Amino acid sequence: MVITPVHYIVAPLIAAFAIPLLTKIHKDAARIVPGIVLFYNVVISFFLMNHIAEHGMISETLAGWEAPWGINLVVTPFTGFLATMVSILGFIIWLYGYRFKRTLKGGEVKFYEILQMMMIAGSIGIIITGDIFNMFVFIEIVGISAFSLTAFYRSRDGAEAGFKYLLIGGFASAFLLLGILIIYTQTGTLNMAQIAERMPEVPQQMKIIALVFFLVALGIEAEMFPLNGWAPDAYSQAPSPTSATFAAVVSVAGVYALIRVVFTMFDVEGVNNYLMVMGFVTMLIAEIAAISQKNLKRMLAYSSIGQVGLILISFGIGSNLAVFGALFLMLNHSVIKSLLFMAGSYFIYNTDDKRITALNGIHKKLPIVSFFFALGSLAIIGFPPFSGFWSKFYILISAANEKYIFLIIGILLVTIIELTYYLRVVGRIYFAKEEEGEPASHRPSINALVAMSSLALFIIVIGVYPDLIMPHIQNAADALLDKTNYIQQILSVKN
């Protein structure tokens, strides 16, 4: 095997350390190098996905120590799927932001690029690591980058959002450490597979307390209500490519961490119901809050939280089909929400106004961007035949399988709320009286158009022919639920 999972982390790290030097050689290095690295990550993803399709899952040992002694990186169909998704989206977001960064008002571009790249790399790290403490480290990498990026514009509101994020993020890391501490004292190991193996021997009381700490800490990362106060602020204040990254990459990593801990490490009853209830509450309150937002990015942020809520519900249902639906929705949410943030930021960029009212009749100025925004809105509501429909459909079917009729009605009622506010925005874009006829000052550059069109293409193609992607998601869902296989494969060397 030429390419190993560790390349995911090493390549960005080398780039991050080298960028301060490279900028001295060529001033555009800071903008180009991350692109190369992120593209390399995409290559890695495809290589690894191919590899695991042929040879089964990979558990790479680091520093020469087999799991559970050393840290291991695990690429199963599940983590591989998420890593692929994250790296592709990371690259597309970089592509989108390539020219965007010229307009950065804040610090230097190189800072931005390093932080952005490491945020994506850290998210991949969270996904592929097999070690709970290593996951903590990666969560902190993502966290630190995210705090800094939130405040990157150094505006009054940006710093405020960054501070809130940091405050809550600080809680998350503290509680996560407490959880890890309790688990370590009980099992004497940090490897997630081995923890899972030893979990039945852990006293129930300790198990549950550790679980509570994990749930709160990772709930913060996964934007679960009421732990998500930071999220709308951070999403709305960060530079737009970063907002897209938050929605498409960071929240995915957060949900992954929660799911991995809950599904693989612990064997506690009641977690599923907990996820379902909290997911529903999260979704409901986020969508309710979204409906009366005046700020476009803030509205999108609440909408993202709502989608995460739906993902959590679906994981909470817990059947194979539900997990499948959840993963599908995760993919859709990442793609669609990045498209929405990308398109939305061009509106803001042109009107220089974050309010929704500023969008009146903007489709005349930015026809293509408006089209993408409308497409994204339709897709995220779950309007067939776009990709969002299929994920929602499967989630509903899985809920019906378990006879959760009120859950289904609830989800659909919330969807109506969602539809209302997206329709308002799209209505403003297309059908409201425009204020003045000045041509757009900032038309989307070609790279941004390529990025957005590729996402739009995905939405349409997967919507019309979902079978293209469904086998991969099915494999991923199977891999997530097959806990014994995960444990055995990783610990096989030892036994």
Partner 1 sequence: MMDFQTLFEQNIEIITIAVYGTAIALIVIGLYAVLMKKHLVKIVIGLSIMDAGIHLLFVAVGYISGGTAPIFSPGSENAATTMVDPVPQALVLTAIVIGFAVTALALSLVIRLYKHHHTANIDQLNSLKW
Partner 2 sequence: MEIIAIILLILLVGSILSFLINRVNKNFTGVTAFLVALASGVVFFTKVQSGYQFNFQLAGLDLQWGLTDYSYYFAYIIFGLSVLALLYSIKYMEGKARLGYYYASFLMTILGMLGVVVSQDFVSLFIFWEIMTWASFLLVIYNSYYKIKTKGIKYMIFSAIGAYAMLTAIVFIRVHYDTLLISEAIAKGAFNFEQYIYIPIFLLLGFGIKAAVMPFHVWAPSAYSKSPMPFTTIFSGAMSKMGIFGIGLVFTTFYLSNDPENFYWVRTILGWLGGITAVMGTIYALIQTDAKKLLAYSSVAQLGYIVVGLSTGTELGVMAALYLAVIHAVFKGALFMVAGAVEKQVGTTDMTKISGLIRKMPWTFFVALVSIIALAGVPPLGGFVGKWLLYEALITESNNYILVVVVFFSSTAAFMYSYRFLFGLFLGQEEKETEHIKEAPVTMIIPMVILAVIAMIAGSYPGLIFEPAAKAMEAIGFQNVSWQMSSLTNIWGDTTDLFLISMMIFAVFIIAFIFLTLKGLKKTRYVGTKDISTSGELPKEWENLTFQIDFFKPFERAAAPLYSMNMNKIWKNLGKNLEAFFGFFRKLYTGNGQTYALFVVIFLVVLLLFKDVIFS
Partner 3 sequence: MLKKLIVFLLIATLGYTLAVTLSSIPIGKNRIGSIENPETVAAYYLDKSPNDLKVANTITAVVVNFRGFDTLGEVSVLFLAATGLASILYRKEEEEEEENIRHISHRLNLPSSSLVQTGAKILFPLIIVLGIYVFIHGHLTPGGGFQGGAIIATGFLLMLVSYKGFETNHKVMVWLESLAGLGFVGVGVFGLVKYGSFLQNTGWTGNLNDLISGGLIPLIYIFVGIKVATELTNILDILLNIKPRKK
The contact set with partner 2 (CB under 8 A) reads: 160, 163-164, 167-168, 171, 175, 208-209, 211-213, 215-216, 219-220, 226-227, 229-230, 232-233, 268-271, 273-274, 285, 288-289, 291-292, 378, 383-385, 389-390, 393, 396-397, 399-401, 405, 408-409, 412-413, 415-416, 419-420, 423-424, 427-428, 431-433, 465-467, 470
Choose between 28 and 108: whose C-beta lies nearer to partner 3. 108
x/- site string to partner 3, residues 379 to 408, per CB under 8 A?
Answer: ------------------------------
Is 189 among the residues that bind partner 3 (CB under 8 A)?
A: yes
x/- site string to partner 3, residues 35 to 74, per CB under 8 A?
Answer: -------------------------xxxxxx--xxxx---
x/- site string to partner 1, residues 185 to 224, per CB under 8 A?
Answer: x----x----------------------------------
195 binds, among partner 1, partner 3, partner 2, none (CB under 5 to 8 A by kind): none
Q: Whole-number minimum distance, CB 144 to partner 3, in Å?
A: 5
Q: How far apart are CA 358 and CA 339, in angstroms?
A: 20
Q: How far apart are CA 246 and CA 297, in angstroms?
A: 12
Is 490 among the residues that bind partner 1 (CB under 8 A)?
A: no
Q: Which helix (H) or strand (E) holds 324?
A: helix 320-351
Q: How far apart are CA 390 and CA 459, in angstroms?
A: 11
14 binds, among partner 1, partner 3, partner 2, none (CB under 5 to 8 A by kind): partner 3
- Nearest alpha-carbon partner for 179 in 222, 217, 135: 217
Choose between 126 and 300: whose C-beta lies nearer to partner 3. 126
Is 111 among the residues that bind partner 3 (CB under 8 A)?
A: yes
Sign of CA dihedral 217, 220, 222, 224: positive
Q: Which residues contact 487 (CB under 8 A, 6 or more apart)?
A: 193, 194, 196, 197
Give the up-direction half-sphere exposure of residue 482: CA atoms within 13 A in the CB hemisphere: 16
Size of the site for partner 3 (CB under 8 A): 57
Q: Which helix (H) or strand (E) holds 74?
A: strand 72-75
Of positions 6, 104, 137, 348, contacts partner 1 by CB under 8 A: 137
Is 162 among the residues that bind partner 1 (CB under 8 A)?
A: yes
Sign of CA dihedral 32, 35, 41, 45: negative
Tokens of 116: 């952005």
Residues in the chain: 495
Q: How far apart are CA 332 and CA 256, in angstroms?
A: 15
Amino acid at 73: L
Q: How far apart are CA 425 and CA 440, in angstroms?
A: 19
120, 34 Cβ separation under 8 angstroms: no
Distance, C-alpha 78 to centroid of its chain: 15
Q: Which helix (H) or strand (E) holds 316?
A: helix 296-317
Within positions 228 to 287, which residues make up the interface with partner 1, using CB under 8 A?
232-233, 236-237
Specify the long-range contacts of residues 478-482, CB closer than 8 Å, at least 24 apart.
478/77, 478/320, 479/57, 479/76, 479/77, 479/78, 479/79, 480/76, 480/78, 480/259, 480/263, 480/264, 480/323, 480/327, 481/263, 481/320, 481/323
112 binds, among partner 1, partner 2, partner 3, none (CB under 5 to 8 A by kind): partner 3
Choose between 455 and 473: whose C-beta lies nearer to partner 2. 473
125 binds, among partner 1, partner 3, partner 2, none (CB under 5 to 8 A by kind): partner 3
Stretch that binds partner 1, among 121-129, 161-169, 203-211, 262-270 (CB under 8 A): 161-169
Stretch that binds partner 3, among 105-113, 230-238, 372-380, 388-396 (CB under 8 A): 105-113
- Nearest alpha-carbon partner for 476 in 135, 80, 25: 80
Of positions 47, 107, 384, 470, contacts partner 3 by CB under 8 A: 107
Q: Which residues here bind partner 1, judged by CB under 8 A?
A: 133, 137, 140, 143-144, 147-148, 151, 154-157, 159-164, 166-167, 169-171, 173-174, 177-178, 180-181, 184-185, 190, 232-233, 236-237, 289, 292-293, 298
Q: Which residues here bind partner 3, judged by CB under 8 A?
A: 4, 6, 9-10, 13-14, 16-18, 20-21, 60-65, 68-71, 106-108, 111-112, 114-115, 118, 125, 133-134, 137-138, 140-141, 144-145, 147-149, 151-152, 154, 159, 162, 178, 182, 185, 188-191, 203, 205-206, 209
